[in-house]
Amino acid sequence: MPSGGSESSSRLQGRYVPLGALAWHRLLQLGRNPLQQSDRGNRTISENSLGKLAFLEQLYMNTVPLVTGGIPTSVGNIPTLKELVLDKTGLSGPIPASLGKLSKLVLLSFTGNKLSGSIPHELSSLQRLQSLTFRESSLTGSISSLDFGKLRSLTDLDLSYNAFTGSFPASLFGSVKLKTLSVSQNQLTGHIPASIGKLTRLEVLDLSSNKLSGGLPSELFHLKELAGLDLSGNMLSGELPKAARKFPASAFANNRLLCGSPLPPCKL
């Protein structure tokens, strides 16, 4: 086992190193340079190699589009993993249900990928998870596949720029530690429920560019920590409450049937 701290992490720069050779490492970071400069062809991540990284705590893969294929299910066999970031890669296919076994995971981010399918229900078991980002990754289905009530440590949730459908699951408002919630640029329908008032720590809420309808619950404007709000580009209706005036008109823009300050007054 390595004795020096400098040997417990690895950044691959311009050369190919078998992952199995990094078995004792705690941090593995693949950035823009490694595979683009050293290999002309695409590479996949070996199932067997990942299974050997038994002490890995952080796995970062950023801006490496030449890494293709599916996310190996063996990622779920790294019991020490705390942070998993696979952003802007060429990875495709479904999110492995085996990730639900990563009981120490606090950060999970898949951004700018070409994934498919829905969020596996098994991720509901990640009780230590604080930040979950599945942004712009071609995911579909309902977000109700997750039992948010079990994600008791979750503070940041970003599911924007996908193709999620359906309405807000009741369990979402059981994640009472949420500070940021973004599900913009999806195809969500239904009303914004009054139970959103349970998210008393919420600071940023972005529900823009969906198909949400109905009026806005007064409970939304009772959230004292809420500083950033974007509900634009939906099908919301009715008169805005007076408490909505603390937000700019852009927060409510492109909702044809919504009226009242800071929007134009309602017609009699």
Pair of tokens at residue 206: 């972005």
Give CA–CA dist 89/110, Å, rounded: 9
Give CA–CA dist 71/209, Å, rounded: 29
Give CA–CA dist 184/263, Å, rounded: 21
Q: Could you tell me where the DSSP H helices lie in the chain?
A: 33-38, 47-51
Q: What is the DSSP letter of 1?
A: -
CB 147 within 8 Å of CB 168: no
Beta bridge partners of 141: 164
* Phi and psi angles of residue 4, each rounded to the nearest 5 degrees, phi first: -95, 145
pLDDT tens for the chain, 268 residues long, are: 333 333 344 333 333 444 444 444 465 666 554 443 444 455 555 555 566 677 889 988 888 777 788 888 889 989 999 999 999 988 899 999 999 999 999 999 999 999 999 999 999 999 999 999 999 999 999 999 999 989 999 999 999 999 999 999 999 998 999 999 999 999 999 999 999 999 999 999 999 999 999 999 999 999 999 999 999 999 999 999 999 999 999 999 999 999 999 999 998 7
Give CA–CA dist 120/144, Å, rounded: 10
Three-state secondary-structure class, residue 67 = strand
